[in-house]
């Protein structure tokens, strides 16, 4: 790591415990964590890093499993300050990577814009949603994207139209090593206030079907073509199966919850066990949707 820019305004933390930053409430320490003051400060910080410095991006810490031995390198925490959001015109919205998806849904409904209601059901930030084309209730993030701003190694920011990317189910190709800084979303105008009613309906559905009162990462596995991971896991008799403090949710089989004492190793072992059993019993290979990073304990 090499950062000597005296103009930096963010906070640099050393040996920071990461469990409190993840929705699973597990994970070891990061060598360093930088909390930028805003998007420009983030660019300055990245520009000052050694080209060989490992960099990891952290929003709300959902869809993420950080192993127990932590992360060697620098974690960028975007959820505190890199969260500007404003209307560009009647139907277009500028949103930075650290804005929680649920905030985008609420902002749009308050401004009579429709199309973003599904984001209320995504427990992460827009940076993560853009990276993995996060979706809920049948709609996906990139359905709304008009353009994005990305930052490459060296802190250089560049604009790209959505057409520059190959977007699929929980996957976005064309990103390379660059990271999403912001996006312009295109919505539809709707003065009927139907959006607020739809958000309430979707959140009620989420509360009824997902274990939102327990630490989890959201959906663990991608849905196979023409099927559902939750159905396959339940059909394999794995609801309630546990390893250590990690358990396949009784409420929704595609969720693994931390019952209170789980380690990252418990969760990772349970993910692998579920994959093995579903392949053995159902003949289907499940692919993890969650991103697993960091070092294993020795």
Q: What tokens does 193 get? A: 């206030």
d(CA 4, CA 6): 6
Residue 51 region by backbone torsions, left for phi larger than 0, else alpha for psi between -120 and 50, else beta: alpha
Q: Which residues contact 87 (CB under 8 A, 6 or more apart)?
A: 93, 94, 111
Alpha carbon distance 17, 247 (integer Å): 23
| Residue 22 burial class via C-beta count within 10 angstroms: exposed 0-12, middle 13-18, buried 19 and up | buried
What stretch of H or E contains 269?
Answer: helix 264-282
Q: Give me the residue label for tokens 């974690």.
A: 75
Residue with tokens 């049948």: 138
Q: Beta strand pairing status for 179-186 and 92-96? A: antiparallel
Closest among 62, 66, 292, 36 to 151, alpha carbons compared: 36
DSSP structural state of residue 36: -
- Which positions are catalytic? 170, 219, 289
Residue 280: both structure tokens together: 């053995």
- Token pair of 26, please? 């597990």
Phi, psi for residue 239 in degrees, rounded to 5: -60, 130
């Amino acid at each position: 790591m090499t950062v000597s820019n005296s103009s930096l305004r963010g906070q640099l933390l050393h040996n920071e415990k990461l469990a409190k930053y993840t929705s699973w409430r597990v994970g070891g320490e990061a060598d360093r964590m930088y909390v930028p003051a805003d998007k420009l400060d983030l660019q300055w910080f990245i520009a000052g890093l050694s080209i060989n410095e490992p960099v990891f991006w952290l929003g709300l810490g959902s869809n993420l499993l950080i192993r127990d031995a932590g992360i060697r390198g620098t974690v960028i925490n975007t959820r505190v300050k890199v969260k500007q959001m404003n209307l560009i015109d009647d139907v277009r919205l500028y949103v930075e990577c650290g804005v929680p998806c649920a905030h985008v849904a609420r902002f749009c409904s308050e401004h009579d814009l429709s199309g973003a209601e599904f984001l209320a059901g995504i427990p992460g930030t827009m940076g993560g949603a853009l990276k993995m084309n996060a979706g809920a209730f049948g709609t996906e993030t990139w359905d709304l994207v008009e353009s994005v701003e990305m930052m490459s190694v060296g802190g250089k920011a560049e604009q790209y139209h959505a057409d520059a990317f190959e977007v699929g189910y929980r996957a976005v190709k064309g990103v390379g090593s660059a990271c999403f800084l912001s996006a312009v979303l295109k919505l539809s105008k709707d003065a009927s206030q139907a959006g607020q009613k739809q958000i309430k309906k979707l959140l009620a559905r989420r509360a009824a079907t997902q274990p939102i009162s327990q630490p989890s990462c959201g959906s663990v596995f991608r849905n196979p073509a023409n099927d559902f991971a939750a159905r396959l896991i339940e059909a394999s008799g794995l609801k309630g199966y546990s390893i250590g403090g990690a358990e396949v949710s009784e409420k929704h089989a595609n969720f693994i919850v931390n019952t209170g004492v789980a380690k990252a190793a418990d969760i990772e072992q349970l993910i692998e066990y579920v994959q093995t059993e579903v392949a053995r019993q159902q003949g289907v290979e499940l692919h993890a949707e969650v991103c697993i990073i960091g070092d294993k304990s020795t």
